[in-house]
Structure 1
Amino acid sequence: MKTFTKILLASALVAPAFLAAGPANAQVGGIAVADPEAAILSAKALDTANSSISTTYKAQLDQARARQMSLQAELATLIVPIDTDHDKKLSDAEIIAAQNAKSPVLEKIKTAQTNAQNDIARANQPATRAQAYAIEQITQKYTAAVNAVVAAKNISLLLSANTVQFAKPAVDVTDDIKNELDRALPTVSIAPPADWQPAQQTLQLQQQYQQIMYAQAVQRAQAGQGAAPAPGTPAAPTKKPTGR
């Protein structure tokens, strides 16, 4: 996979900072900023790919969710002997007390979690691989999208939004790059070749994306709009990641 163009000036993949999209003529004095992660992870092609993944790998994703629910039920039973205040969860004090007492329950909990995580990862693997392949295809078009926006807006210096401490909204061209990605790559494949392996940058982007989706799912669950998925479960977003 190609790395991001040098014009981004140290646009290393770090924790995402999604900027609000600026107006169409988004550059000031030839200087602009862009957020690579925001442009890639909000691409329509990824939304479409996730919808296809949810359908294609529904059985496997349902299996992962069922395994997560079975783990929760198993843990609820396992913690009973050391849940001294009977609130159906373990506090730090209860865990420390169990450690001091060398309770075998802690090892049983650890084993149950490890086994479930392995089962969930196996069930999710086909969908996770397909999602990574979709992200990598979009990433490979990023440099071309940047070049198109730079040329169209006569930008002489483009900085990574992640390294800029302050910029007026009018300087941000992230949305313009995202729109160019949408134009150049409206859809992507979710069927990676048998010998394909995701690049490290792809895995980092995917991890960021899944964290965003999981956080949104948790928020919806807390608002009573549904159950949160198991961490790392690929899911189609209900809205694109935008805003800081």
Structure 2
Amino acid sequence: MKMLVKSFVAVALLAGTAQAALAAPKPAAAAPAAAPAAAGVKAGVNGIAFAYLDAIIENSAANRAADAQRPTTYKAQIDQAEARRKQLVAQIQPMVDKYNKDAAAPGANAAAIQQQGETIQKLQESGQQELQKILEPVNLSRAYVREQILDKLDASIQAAMQKNGVTLLLDPRAKLASSNAYDLSRAILTEVDAAIPNAQLVPPAGWLPREVREQQAQQQQAAAAAGGAAPAAGRPDAGGGR
């Protein structure tokens, strides 16, 4: 019972939290990017450094500008999702209250309680899917901006490494001792901002994230391979009629 109520509250608050997050850009200090090294000083021991790549993307000028513009550009979708979220809360919360009351009553009918719970669960799931569908353009915009930044990230990393004498860049989770490496995040961020100060906010019609495009391409290749193999498998042996 507690799990069911908690699940509903989480779903309801999730959409509200997402809407609130879209209403204002993230602060620049949100990421753990460190201050740049002193001018002319080579990085770390034997050119070793580490970098917070996700934080670099989040704090890039292009991403922050997009976060600031998105609530205006997608205001209709955000307002629609928030209005629908409130409707779902108004619809489901009384059902949750009744479920809790009936479940706590002496001699409660277990089958009837279970049926109530399943009905609520289905409404929760369908409501969450509906909200995600409404906000799909917003999420695609986020993915589109991120992909544009990622396209510039590798070259920015290489430039920052070369300028700072870094020959080995580590994931922060692989960092063993801070005295043997330093944070190259700020230097990479500078390169990213120079390479892509602004990103296109609205993706082209029909655009899909790279991972989805790659998955579709793999499926098409597999289907093409299967289609080509089927006739070959069913072809009679060339010498069978002799």
TM class, shorter-length: 0.5 to 0.7
Q: 1:74 aligns with which of 65, 74, 91?
A: 91
Amino acid at match of 1:160: D
Does the 8 A contact of 1:33 with 1:158 survive in 2?
yes
Whether the aligned pair in 1 keeps the contact of 2:34 and 2:183 (CA below 8 Å) is: yes
Alignment of 1:196 onto 2:207: yes
Shift of 1:19: 3.6
Q: Give the deviation of 1:169 after TM superposition.
A: 9.7
Q: Distance in 1 between matches of 2:130 and 2:157?
A: 40
Question: Partners of 1:169 and 1:194 in 2: how far apart?
Answer: 48
With CA pairs under 8 Å and 6+ residues apart, which has the higher RCO, 1 or 2?
A: 1
Decide which of 107, 110, 114 is 2:121's aligned counterpart.
110
**Residue type at the aligned position of 1:196:** W
Match of 2:72, SS state, is helix
1:40 aligns with 2:51: no
Which 4+ stretches in 1 moved above 6 angstroms?
none
* Structure 1 residue 134: Cα displacement: 0.3
Structure 1: any 5+ residue segments left out of the alignment?
1-17, 86-92, 203-244
Structure with more of its chain in helix, by fraction? 2
Q: Percent identity?
A: 32
The two structures, once aligned, show a CA RMSD in angstroms of: 2.8
Q: Which residue of 1 aligns with 2:141?
A: 130
Query: What is the CA–CA distance in structure 2 between the aligned matches of 1:141 and 1:182, rounded to whole Å?
Result: 9
Encode CA deviations 1:4-40: one digit per residue, 9 max, x unaligned: xxxxxxxxxxxxxx54414334821211111211111
CA contact (8 A) 1:27 1:170 kept: yes
Structure 2 counterparts to residues 64-213 of structure 1, below 5 A: 64-84=81-101, 100-103=110-113, 104-168=115-179, 171-200=182-211
Q: Would the aligned equivalents of 1:64 and 1:120 in 2 still touch at CA under 8 Å?
A: yes
Report the residue type matching 1:159 in the other structure.
L
TM-score, reference length from structure 2? 0.64
Instruction: Evaluate the alpha carbon distance shift between residue 146 and residue 109 of structure 1 in structure 2; reply closer, same or farther with a 3 A threshold.
Output: same
1:80 counterpart letter in structure 2: D
Residue 9 of structure 1 corresponds to none
> Do structure 1's residue 27 and structure 2's residue 40 form an aligned pair?
no
What are the superposed Cα offsets for residues 192-221 of structure 1, whole Å, 9 maximum, x if unpaired?
22242212399xxxxxxxxxxxxxxxxxxx
